Amino acid sequence: MAKPIFDVRHDQYYSVLYKTADKYWSATREVVAGGNIESIWIISPLPLGKLMCCLILLLAFDAGLCGAWAFDLNGFKARAEATLAELNAKRLEDSNLTLARLNEMLAIGVVGMREYGVNHPKYAKLMDAAIANVQAMKQMTDVQIEEKWGETGTGGDDAGVPLKSLGENSEQRAYLELVVGPATQYIFIKKWQSTKRAKWLEEARDEAVELLKHLETIQAE
């Protein structure tokens, strides 16, 4: 397999692209499943030659992204296992690093969900709805995230897929958990940071164990 032109992790893509291209142009773009660019509006006072260079740069990034931005299941699992190991120890050496790792898992999980939506159009709107809610999930309470994205939650209603219609061990539930799981752990660890109550690490641990079970479902595809 050819090495991508720009070998960057999916979670680095935005910062690398914008830092590189910002010298030359400003752009508004929409990214759809798999990192394909759906539309671009470019405003630039630069000469046509430089503008063309910028377009080539963007296309090169996108070409590289096709190879570099595939769902990294192994990377996600490694991070999930590292987090569980910390939680099993019932203490966090650096809870902010743990939260940063969970953010990385969320970024990787979004890629997996986008891929699943492309390959299973019936559930594309459901995956998109969860992806759009990722940052909000981290600000929810544990009760709120359960009410919206739990097994009987309302998060899929607007997408036409009631979550209660999904099997507990279904593929669809497993892919949703790529963001719901890390986000829920994030919530519990933030609560632990403010209270230092061991209960919240135990809750986070239970979520980590459940997430790894869902990964088994994805791996068995």
Predicted pLDDT of residue 221: 80
CA-closest candidate to residue 126, choices 162, 81, 90: 162
Predicted pLDDT of residue 177: 98
Using CB atoms within 10 Å of the CB of residue 9, give its burial: 0 to 12 exposed, 13 to 18 middle, 19+ buried.
Answer: middle
What span, in angstroms and rounded, lies between the C-alpha atoms of 25 and 157? Answer: 40
Long-range contacts (CB closer than 8 Å, 24 or more residues apart) made by 87-91: 87/201, 87/204, 87/205, 87/208, 88/205, 90/198, 90/201, 90/202, 91/201
23: Cβ contacts below 8 Å, ≥ 6 apart:
none
**Main-chain phi, psi angles of 168, to 5 degrees:** -55, -35
Mean pLDDT along residues 100-127 = 98
The region of weakest confidence among 22-36, 71-85, 124-138 is 22-36
Predicted pLDDT of residue 23: 38
Residue 14: both structure tokens together: 């935005």
> Residue 93 has what DSSP assignment?
S
Res 201 pLDDT > 50: yes
Residue 27, SS3? strand
The region of weakest confidence among 26-40, 81-95, 127-141 is 26-40
Residue 119: both structure tokens together: 């390959």
Res 95 pLDDT > 60: yes
Res 72 pLDDT > 70: yes
Mean pLDDT along residues 131-159 = 98
Please state, for a pLDDT cut of 90, what percent of the chain lies above it: 68
- pLDDT tens per residue across span 4-17: 433 444 444 444 43
149: Cβ contacts below 8 Å, ≥ 6 apart:
130, 133, 137, 155, 163, 176, 180
What span, in angstroms and rounded, lies between the C-alpha atoms of 208 and 94? Answer: 17
What span, in angstroms and rounded, lies between the C-alpha atoms of 182 and 108? Answer: 11
Query: Are 84 and 209 a contacting pair, CB within 8 Å?
Result: yes
